Chain A
Amino acid sequence: KQEVTQIPAALSVPEGENLVLNCSFTDSAIYNLQWFRQDPGKGLTSLLLIQSSQREQTSGRLNASLDKSSGRSTLYIAASQPGDSATYLCAIPTSGTYKYIFGTGTRLKVLA
């Protein structure tokens, strides 16, 4: 059974720092991995999707990498801003019906 964990659970940094958020999974036979952002009480905003054949994806200040063999994905946020404050979730579809298993989330706070 796929299990997805995220470290750290919470992170507070000053503005301008480069950040690394980690997502670990137990079953390396994944189809893809998706990173989401969620503001308090709000919906899920898709940030990046990495297919199993890819090693990384980039969008603006965000870069996500995938290492299936070690069961890890990393979300790198460059030059963090207060507007980046949110919870970041990774999610992996299961084999068969592709329902998503979500990670435990990292709650990020960027201080001005």
Chain B
Amino acid sequence: AAGVIQSPRHLIKEKRETATLKCYPISRHDTVYWYQQGPGQDPQFLISFYEKMQSDKGSIPDRFSAQQFSDYHSELNMSSLELGDSALYFCASSLVTDTQYFGPGTRLTVL
């Protein structure tokens, strides 16, 4: 079975630009989680969605927004990018309370 798909895998942006990261969960999974991993750090939870509704929110900057669409894919929108936003962004999907399956990540570099 196909795993979690994230696109793009790599993204380079300039400061103050906007970026959109996409996540396609495993088929029939209804929950999506987003995590941010800065250089040398452990992954930190950003936001999650269950059945297209936001279910939890972590330390996500106001410049970031996300949503889950009717086909359960999710997008993380990041505006006014800062150098400190450079990180690996992971998406994970699950069936409600079941195990989370992680995607390969999107590496965002802000110049």
Contacts and interface: CB of A to CB of B under 8 A. Distances in A.
Contact of B102 (A32, A46, A103, A105): A46
Interface string B53-88: 001101000000000000000000000000000001
A43 B105 contact: yes
B88 A98 contact: no
Contacts of B88: 41, 43
Contacts of A100: 33, 35, 43, 45, 92, 100
B25 to A, nearest CB: 14
Contacts of B97: 31, 93, 98
Nearest to A96: B56
Interface in A70-112: 89, 91, 93, 96-105
A100 B33 CA distance: 9
A32 B101 CA distance: 14
B29 interface: no
Contacts of A21: none
A79 B55 CA distance: 43
B33 A99 contact: yes
A40 to B, nearest CB: 10
A103 B56 contact: no
Interface string B34-46: 0100000011110
B100 A93 contact: yes
Contacts of A41: 88, 107
Interface in A31-67: 31-32, 34, 36, 41-44, 46, 49
5 contacts: A36-B102, A43-B88, A44-B105, A98-B31, A104-B42
Interface of A: 31-32, 34, 36, 41-44, 46, 49, 89, 91, 93, 96-105
